[in-house]
Amino acid sequence: MTPGVPALSETGVALCIFFILLVPLAAAGLSLINAGLGRSHSAAHSMMASLCVLGVAAITYFVFGFAWQGYIGGPAHSFWIAGKSWNWLASEPFFFRGLDFRGSSASLVAALQLLSVGICALIPLGSGAGRWRLGAICISTIFLAGCTYPLFAHWVWSGGWLAQLGANYGLGHGFMDLGGASTIHIVGGLSALTIAWTLGPRQGKYSLEGMPTAIPGHNAVIVLFACLLAWLGWIGLNSAGAILFAGTDPARSILVFVNTTLAAVSAALAAASMTRLRFGKPDASLSANGWIGGLVASSASCAFVTPLGAVAIGLAAGALVTLAVEVFELRLTVDDPSGGISVHAVGGIWGVLAAGLFARFPESVPSTSSFAALGAGKGDSGQWLAQLVGISTLLGFVLPLTYGFQRLLNRFYPQRVSPEGERQGMDLHELGAGAYPDFVSNIDEFTQR
Amino acid sequence: MKILGFFLLVAGWAIVLAAVALLAWQAPRIAFALAGAGVELLGLVLVFRSHALLQGGT
Query: Looking at residues A392-405, what average pLDDT do you find?
Result: 98
Mark yes or no for CB contact A397/B36 under 8 Å. Answer: no
pLDDT of residue A444: 53
Nearest CA to A344 out of A395, A296, A392, A380 is that of: A296
Query: Looking at residues A277-291, what average pLDDT do you find?
Result: 96
Give the span between the Cα atoms of A302 and A352, in whole angstroms.
11
Tell me the percentage of chain A whose pLDDT exceeds 70: 92
Nearest CA to A268 out of A296, A242, A240 is that of: A296
Give the span between the Cα atoms of A276 and A271, in whole angstroms.
8
Lowest mean pLDDT among A13-17, A79-83, A274-278: A79-83
Give the span between the Cα atoms of A444 and A436, in whole angstroms.
15
Which of B43, B44, B51 is facing A197, going by the closest CB pair?
B51
Q: Chain-wide mean pLDDT for chain A?
A: 92
Task: List alpha helices for A128-252, DSSP H.
Answer: 134-143, 149-157, 165-169, 187-199, 220-246
List of chain A residues whose C-beta atoms are within 8 Å of the C-beta of residue B12: 392, 395-396
Residue A237 or B57, more confident: A237
Q: CB-based contact (8 Å) between A139 and chain B?
A: no
Q: CB-based contact (8 Å) between B25 and chain A?
A: no
Mark yes or no for CB contact A201/B55 under 8 Å. Answer: yes
Nearest CA to A271 out of A170, A342, A359, A196 is that of: A342
Query: Looking at residues B17-43, what average pLDDT do you find?
Result: 95
Q: From B26, which residue of chain A is nearest by alpha-carbon distance?
A: A382
Mark yes or no for CB contact B12/A400 under 8 Å. Answer: no
pLDDT of residue A373: 54
Q: From B17, which residue of chain A is nearest by alpha-carbon distance?
A: A389
Lowest mean pLDDT among A25-29, A37-41, A375-379, A419-423: A375-379
pLDDT of residue A377: 46
- Amino acid identity of A161? W
Which of A81, A201, A385 is facing B30, going by the closest CB pair?
A385
